[in-house]
Amino acid sequence: MGELMVEKHVKFILAVEKRKDDFESVVMEHLRLNGAYWGLTTLDIMGKLAAVEQDEVISWVMQCQHESGGFGGNIGHDPHVLYTLSAIQVLALFDKIHVLDIDKVSSYIAALQNEDGSFSGDIWGEVDTRFSYIAILSLALMHQLDKVDVGKAVKYILSCKNVDGGFGCTPGAESHAGQIFCCVAALAITGSLHHVDKDLLGWWLCERQVKSGGLNGRPEKLPDVCYSWWVLSSLIMIDRVHWIDKGKLVKFILDCQDKENGGISDRPDDAVDVFHTYFGVAGLSLLEYPGIKPIDPAYALPVDIVNRVILGR
Ligand SMILES: [Zn+2]
């Protein structure tokens, strides 16, 4: 079996962070704050966060904040909970959550909760259980969960539970691994995991492993490194991770590395990107790969950071 090419991945991530004017970065510009979270978290769990210019990153993150309190994906972009969470997570990595106006940011998020307990992603109102997770996680990281109706938020998530044990983006929508992760993690953070049928959901999740060892997101789909995160973290949270073949999944992730230039792709021999690099390395962290810091399956941040931010130690 190959090994994780840590130095090459560090080089790849640092190059992506610096690149501002080529085609890919123009297309991806609106995603930059998400990209910063993926890249920096990957560096941190590989023990290489010191390779970035911390003050530069923080000053750029704070310039992405909109007067409403929410953050856009880049300077001058419209705010959305997706980027607001990334901003909080990046600041958490550097132990800098205190630079935020907590009241303003948490009020922005709390105002996105709807009457039925669901959350919209921004003022345009699209509703999705992804946004429930993002809002709950963001508020938890700022110790502001009491600003929303947590009971109603949990009730809405449970209304998206399906007969196969999984969860969809809205009530009645089909189960999907990404959505299951969001719902299970939101339930974990709010202490509501007892509502999950662990055996039924565990069965659906472990059936996502295909012959190559990789995991897919739904029946009949191709395996993809990003599901290493969504499926694995869900299995860990419901205590059923021993139902998959961990060794085969490690091999699948390592096979998706670009061994020349660094980075990880969705499937072996595809083009690499920072998104799959993060999910690959984070997946290896959940699989207890040697030399990688443990990552928290619900908070999607290194365990030491979660302990510091949530437990104050
Ligand atoms: Zn993917």
Taking the centre of ligand 1 as the mean of its atom positions, its distance from the CA of residue 110, in whole angstroms, is 30
Mean pLDDT along residues 7-17: 90
Confidence of residue 238 (pLDDT cuts 50, 70, 90): very high
- Residue 1: inside a domain, yes or no? no
DSSP three-state, residue 227: helix
Number of structural domains (the chain) is 1
pLDDT over threshold 60, residue 39: yes
- Residue 110: inside a domain, yes or no? yes
DSSP three-state, residue 75: coil
* Type of residue at 203: W
**Least confident interval from 9-13, 19-23, 85-89:** 19-23
pLDDT of residue 30: 65
Q: pLDDT for 117-164, tens place per residue?
A: 999 999 888 999 999 999 999 999 999 999 999 999 999 999 999 999
Taking the centre of ligand 1 as the mean of its atom positions, its distance from the CA of residue 264, in whole angstroms, is 10
Judge residue 184's burial from the number of C-beta atoms within 10 Å of its C-beta, 0-12 exposed, 13-18 middle, 19 or more buried: buried
pLDDT of residue 32: 87
pLDDT of residue 24: 58
pLDDT over threshold 70, residue 74: yes
Domain of residue 164, residue span = 6-311
Taking the centre of ligand 1 as the mean of its atom positions, its distance from the CA of residue 141, in whole angstroms, is 26
Taking the centre of ligand 1 as the mean of its atom positions, its distance from the CA of residue 98, in whole angstroms, is 33
Neighbours of ion ligand 1 (CB under 5 A): 224, 226, 266
What CATH number should be reported for the domain holding residue 50?
1.50.10.20
pLDDT of residue 219: 85
Mean pLDDT along residues 237-242: 97
97's tokens: 């959550």
- Residue 113: inside a domain, yes or no? yes
Confidence of residue 1 (pLDDT cuts 50, 70, 90): low
Residues 42-64 as b or e (16 or more Cβ within 10 Å = b)? bbbbbebbeebeeeebbebbeeb
Q: DSSP character for 145?
A: G
- Residue 190: inside a domain, yes or no? yes
pLDDT over threshold 70, residue 25: no
Mean pLDDT along residues 53-72: 94
With helix as H, strand as E and coil as C, how does 14-72 read? Answer: HHHHHCCCCHHHHHCHHHHHHHHHHHHHHHHHCCCHHHCCHHHHHHHHHHCECCCCCEC
Classify the C-alpha dihedral 179-117-197-236 as positive or negative: positive
Calculate the average pLDDT of the chain: 94
Taking the centre of ligand 1 as the mean of its atom positions, its distance from the CA of residue 225, in whole angstroms, is 6
DSSP per-residue string spanning 238-300:
TT-GGGS-HHHHHHHHHHTB-TTT--B-SSTTSPPBHHHHHHHHHHHHHTT-TTS--B-TTT-
Predicted TM-score (pTM) above 0.85: yes
